[in-house]
Amino acid sequence: SQTIHQWPATLVQPVGSPLSLECTVEGTSNPNLYWYRQAAGRGLQLLFYSVGIGQISSEVPQNLSASRPQDRQFILSSKKLLLSDSGFYLCAWRGPRYSPLHFGNGTRLTVT
Amino acid sequence: GQQLNQSPQSMFIQEGEDVSMNCTSSSIFNTWLWYKQDPGEGPVLLIALYKAGELTSNGRLTAQFGITRKDSFLNISASIPSDVGIYFCAGQPYATGNQFYFGTGTSLTVIP
């Protein structure tokens, strides 16, 4: 069966510091991968998605970037965090067409 | 990105009552998904819908893919305390293919 791992679970970082969040999927190949951000427990905002290695689509201009160095690995990064980057970051994967999104357990990021 | 209008924003109901919530979009979708999220965790898939008019059940939950392809409905029958949480709709626009957009959520409180 497929599983998705996301880490760390919580992170407290000072303003201006770098960020790297990692997500990996097991038990499937060539998944679509997604990064969402959720503020204040409501409304998931799509940040990035990827349909293959090295292929990244950005939904909104922001202080973040994403990379997909391997088929089942998706990384969310920032060079310098802003206070507004605080939130709950969720990674998700999807299999073939007409299959649903499956989420990881998220990373709670607090920028201080 | 796409805006999905989800209503109601919150519900306070007595245990045993039925619950209805809905989601509408401004464009045609080819997939509708319903999720439940508990505090501090990732959303968990409840029901997936892939065809206009489709009616699908998962225990006490029933969801429908609207005929117009611009809306979806979720019903919960005979609510119980463990139904408490935030429910999200999500949709995949027909025109774009890979993105999934989320509604703003319905917060459900069940009073024993």
DSSP string, A30-58: S-EEEEEEEETTEEEEEEEEEEETTEEEE
Nearest to A36 by CA among A27, A28, A48, A52: A48
pLDDT of residue A2: 84
Q: Strands A42-52 and A32-39: what pairing?
A: antiparallel
Q: Is A100 in CB contact (< 8 Å) with chain B?
A: yes
Which residues of chain B, if any, have pLDDT below 50? none
**Residue B94 CA from chain centroid, whole number:** 18
Q: Is the CB of B88 less than 8 angstroms away from the CB of A100?
A: no
Q: How many CB atoms lie within 10 A of CB B8?
A: 12
Q: How far apart are CA A32 and CA B29, in angstroms?
A: 18
Q: Which of B98, B101, B104 to mutate to test binding with chain A, by most A CBs within 10 Å of its CB?
A: B98
Please count the residues of chain B: 112
User: Which value, to the nearest 10 degrees, does the dihedral of the CA atoms of residues B93, B42, B54, B20 take?
Assistant: -110
* Partners of residue B86 in chain A, C-beta under 8 Å: 41-42
The larger pLDDT score, comparing residue A44 to residue A41, is at A44
Joined together, the tokens standing for residue B106 give: 């319905």
Residue A42 predicted with pLDDT over 80: no
Best CA proximity match to A41, nearest among B24, B85, B83? B85
Give residue-wise pLDDT tens across range A54-106. 999 988 767 899 999 999 999 999 999 999 999 999 999 999 878 899 999 99
Chain B residue nearest residue A50, CA to CA: B98
Tell me if chain B has a CB within 8 Å of the CB of A36: yes
CB proximity A106 to B under 8 Å: yes
